[in-house]
Amino acid sequence: MCTMNLQNKASFLVKCGDAHTLIEAPDPIEAATLAFASLYLRYGADIEVGPSIEVVDLEELKTGEPKDENTHLVYTPLAMANAGYHGLASNFYRLLEGLER
């Protein structure tokens, strides 16, 4: 069961690489942060990540058809750092920067 709108929180579907989870959070960035922390604890070094984490606001979906406004992309190193994984965030940031060149 998915509970909606508890204490000013919204429900989000968060996709990080091949993994996904449902999270209640006040905003998409916090949802990505909580989801990354949860998935990293579950999968550890086996977690697959991309440059961004996709966050779908399920509250906004209740009002109609899925729209681009319902989907948010959070930069993965930001979610990593917010979750307290500063070293991992720094390493992943450097990796992404190297790919751009």
What pLDDT score was predicted for residue 59?
Answer: 80
Least confident of 6-10, 71-75, 80-84: 6-10
Band the pLDDT of 100: cuts 50, 70, 90: low
Band the pLDDT of 70: cuts 50, 70, 90: confident
Spatial distance between the Cα atoms of 36 and 54, rounded to a whole number of angstroms = 11
What pLDDT score was predicted for residue 5?
Answer: 41
Average pLDDT, the chain: 86
What's this model's pTM, rounded to 2 decimal places?
0.83
3-state secondary structure of 5: coil
**Amino acid letter, residue 26:** P
In tens, the pLDDT along 5-35 reads: 446 789 999 999 889 999 999 999 999 999 9
In tens, the pLDDT along 88-99 reads: 999 999 999 887
**If you average pLDDT over residues 69-86, what whole number do you get?**
94
Residue 66, burial from CB neighbour count under 10 angstroms (0-12, 13-18, 19+) = exposed
* DSSP string computed for 18-67: TEEEEEEESSHHHHHHHHHHHHHHHHGGG----SEEEEEEHHHHTTSS--
Residue pair 53/15 in contact (Cβ under 8 Å)? The answer is yes
